Structure 1
Amino acid sequence: MRNLWRPLGRVFSPAAGEPWCASHAANPTALALADGNVRIFFSTRDTSNRSSAASVDIAIDGDRFEMLGRLRGPLLTPGARGSFDADGVTVSSVVSHDGKLYAFYLGWTVLVHVPFTNFIGVAVSDDGKTFRRGSSVPVVGRSPENPLSVGYPIVLRDGPGWRMWFGSHLHWGQKGLEMLHVIKEARSPDLVQWTPSDAVVVDVAGPTDPLEFAISRPSLLREPDGSLSMWYARRRPHYELGFARSTDGARWERRDQDLIFVGTPEAWEDKERTYPFVFDHGGRRYMLYNGNGYGREGFGLAILEQ
Structure 2
Amino acid sequence: MHWKKLGQIYCPKAIHPKLMSHAANPLPLLVEGDLYRVFFSGRDADNRSSVGYVDMNLATLEITYVHDKPAFEYGLDSSFFSHGVSIGNCYSAGGKRYILFMGWQCPPDGHWRGDVGRLVLDNDWSLHLDSASPFMASDESDPISLSYPWVIQERDDLYRMWYGSTITWDTGNGEMLHVINSARSTDGERWRREGLAVPYEIGVAQAFSRPTVVGNSVEGYHMWFSYRSGAGEKYRIGYATSADGDSWCLQLDRVGINVSEGGWDSEMIEYPYVFDHKGQRFMLYNGNGHGRTGFGLAVLDRE
Question: TM-score, length-normalised on structure 1?
Answer: 0.90
Corresponding residue number in structure 2 for 1:252: 248
Identity of aligned residues (%): 35
RMSD: 2.2
Corresponding residue number in structure 1 for 2:213: 220
Correspondence 1:233 to 2:223 = no
Map 1:159-178 → 2, pairs under 5 A: 159=155, 160-173=157-170, 178=175
Corresponding residue number in structure 2 for 1:78: 74
Once residues 112 and 251 of structure 1 are traced to their aligned partners in structure 2, the CA distance between those partners, rounded to angstroms, is 39
Which residue among 168, 189, 192 is the counterpart of 1:192?
189
Correspondence 1:23 to 2:21 = yes
Long gaps (5+) in structure 2? none
Once residues 162 and 29 of structure 1 are traced to their aligned partners in structure 2, the CA distance between those partners, rounded to angstroms, is 19
Deviation, 1:33, is 2.3
Corresponding residue number in structure 1 for 2:116: 120
User: SS where residue 264 of structure 2 aligns?
Assistant: helix
Once residues 84 and 68 of structure 1 are traced to their aligned partners in structure 2, the CA distance between those partners, rounded to angstroms, is 34
**For residue 128 of structure 2, what is the amino acid of its counterpart?**
R
User: SS where residue 289 of structure 2 aligns?
Assistant: helix
- Retained in 1: the 8 A contact 2:259–2:266? no
Corresponding residue number in structure 1 for 2:9: 11
Q: Which has the higher mean CA deviation after the structures are superposed, 241-250 or 93-102?
A: 93-102
State the Cα deviation string for residues 93-136 of structure 1 (Å, max 9, x = none).
11234553201001010134554101001011222521111111
Query: In 2 relative to 1, CA 39–96 (structure 1 residues): closer, same or farther, beyond 3 Å?
Result: farther
Correspondence 1:87 to 2:83 = yes
Which residue among 273, 279, 284 is the counterpart of 1:277?
273
Corresponding residue number in structure 1 for 2:294: 298
- Retained in 1: the 8 A contact 2:171–2:177? no
Correspondence 1:268 to 2:264 = yes
Deviation, 1:39, is 1.6
Q: Hey, which bits of structure 1, 4+ residues long, moved more than 4 A?
A: 174-177, 262-266
**For residue 209 of structure 2, what is the amino acid of its counterpart?**
S
State the Cα deviation string for residues 157-187 of structure 1 (Å, max 9, x = none).
0322311100100112299973110000112
Corresponding residue number in structure 1 for 2:146: 150
Long gaps (5+) in structure 1? none
